[in-house]
Amino acid sequence: MDTLEWLLFLCIYFKVTQIAELSWTADVPNEVKGLLGSCVVIPCSYNYPDPQGKAKSFTGIWMTTEGDRVIYHPTQSKIVKQYQSRTKLLGDASKNCSLMIEKLQQDDRGPFYFRIEIEGYNRASYRKNKVSISVMDEPNPTDFFVQEEVKEGENVSASCSVFHSCPTYPPDFHWSHSGEHHLQTQKLQNGQWKATSTLTFHSNRTDHNRPLQCRVTYHGGKHQETSKTLKVKYAPVNVKVEYQSDVNEGETAHLKCSSDANPVSSYEWHSETGALLNKGQTYTILIVSRHSVEAVYCTAVNEEGQVRSSTVKLNVLYAPDIRTSSKCSSDWGVLKCECIVESRPPSMVHFVLGDRLQNSSVETNGSVTTGTLQTDFGSFKFVHCLANNTLGNENLTLSLLVNDNMQKIFIVSGTVVILLIILIATGVGVVNKRKENYEDVHSNDICSNDHVYGNVRTKRRVPLKTNV
């Protein structure tokens, strides 16, 4: 092809193209999809030859191919009743012939075509460019995406996408989780649109095993929901020891460690000094003793971290144990007894002198209860100390002791008498000797009439119902 032929070809091509652009043409899809009860927009544009200034106004009309029934006209009275107040022409009628149909019904399937009437110029019907509507009873499935397994504190991004054909009233998105929302719309082919809602938030342990839900509501009221369950990894929290704090001495105690964690925790038990006692969720003490029980804590461990519980200690309960340091003493004819009892719960302490219950004072300090008796000495040799609590009772017999001050008085008195006897014997003779004998005998009588008791102790259990 030489240069002249090429130039001729280009001239013909541009001329044909110009004629085509100026001819009566319309661009409309063959079919659009619409949701029942919602709205649908039929995208449409058209061309016509240049009216060269003759056009005064444009009247766009939509009609059915069967029977040429008018479904849209600027004058409502010219629209068939079925479509009145439900159709609307969008945009500038001189170029845009897009039609919106609201409250879509099953009978709104078409086919339809567009007609333009240009006042003062011409009119045309685009019958060859007909369009039908595919009415859907339910929306298309929602596309839902989220990274389902995350670590606590990481950003989570979730997206929810739907297809629709009503750009005038796009779907409304609602998320079950708070966060930052972003909406994006995308125009597709054949009157279809894609709406995508994106949610971004920081993950927390409270999101673990919690459904993340996206709810989409379409114009007209129809809606659909979709969800996915999040899996959040986090270090142990709420680590605590579950146990019965009060336990009787000699019994078995069971302690259990619990926590909230993902993945599930493993457990270790330590003494208050940090010594490892056991591994596992439970720790068992076979024979509980007040002398060996110690404070302990448990530690929960997983791949995200480790956390220890607070320290706990068993409250060991046991029957009364009267200490051997309990005693009685007398001073100037006054008897004073002290009975020291160790027990938990604290004991009641009583004194029995002869066959009578004595008034006494009681003081409790922790697990130690001290009973104090102060009364006249009398001629009794023993005092009984009785102690009891809810777990049992104890009885200890205390012997009476004469105070050392009393013994010293007896010894000094005897010494003075002997010195007097010696002096009198030296100066007086036989009379004085008789007096000495008399004084000596009298001194011995005094000593033999005073009672000095040794420390004799007996200890025994008595029934809880002992009368005191």
Same domain, 172 and 73: no
Same domain, 152 and 215: yes
Record the tokens describing residue 73, joined without a space: 């006209």
Same domain, 118 and 31: yes
Assess if residue 120 is contained within a domain: yes
For residues 104 and 77, what is the distance between their CA atoms, to the nearest angstrom?
20
Same domain, 41 and 115: yes
Same domain, 382 and 422: no
Query: Count of domains in the chain?
Result: 5
Assess if residue 36 is contained within a domain: yes
Assess if residue 11 is contained within a domain: no
From the list 328, 309, 451, the residue with the least C-alpha distance to 384 is 328
Residues 6+ apart with CB under 8 A from 160: 142, 143, 144, 173, 175, 196, 197, 198, 199, 214, 216, 226
Assess if residue 412 is contained within a domain: yes
Same domain, 116 and 131: yes
End of a domain among 136, 157, 189?
A: 136
For residues 350 and 253, what is the distance between their CA atoms, to the nearest angstrom?
33
Record the tokens describing residue 90, joined without a space: 């969008």
Assess if residue 466 is contained within a domain: no
Assess if residue 423 is contained within a domain: yes
Looking at residue 150, its amino acid is V
Same domain, 38 and 87: yes
Q: CATH number of the domain that 300 lies in?
A: 2.60.40.10
Same domain, 45 and 124: yes
Is residue 86 classed as helix, strand or coil in its secondary structure? coil
Same domain, 421 and 382: no
Residue with tokens 């009583």: 350
Same domain, 423 and 328: no
Domain span at residue 377? 318-402+456-460
Same domain, 293 and 203: no
For each of the chain's 468 residues, which pLDDT tens digit applies?
Answer: 555 565 554 544 444 444 444 588 888 999 999 999 999 999 998 888 876 766 678 888 899 988 888 999 988 888 898 898 899 998 788 888 899 999 999 988 889 999 888 887 888 888 888 999 999 989 888 999 998 899 999 999 999 999 998 888 999 999 999 999 999 999 888 888 999 999 999 999 999 999 999 999 999 889 899 999 999 999 999 999 999 999 999 999 999 999 999 999 999 999 999 999 999 999 999 999 998 889 999 999 999 999 999 999 999 999 999 999 999 888 777 889 999 999 999 999 999 988 889 889 999 999 999 999 998 867 778 899 999 999 999 999 998 765 544 433 333 333 333 455 445 445 434 334 433 443 343 333 323 333 333 333 343 333 333 333
Same domain, 36 and 129: yes
CB of 376 closer than 8 Å to CB of 359: no
For residues 157 and 327, what is the distance between their CA atoms, to the nearest angstrom?
79
Assess if residue 3 is contained within a domain: no
Assess if residue 327 is contained within a domain: yes
For residues 457 and 380, what is the distance between their CA atoms, to the nearest angstrom?
15
End of a domain among 313, 329, 345?
A: 313
pTM above 0.75, yes or no: no
End of a domain among 136, 164, 186?
A: 136
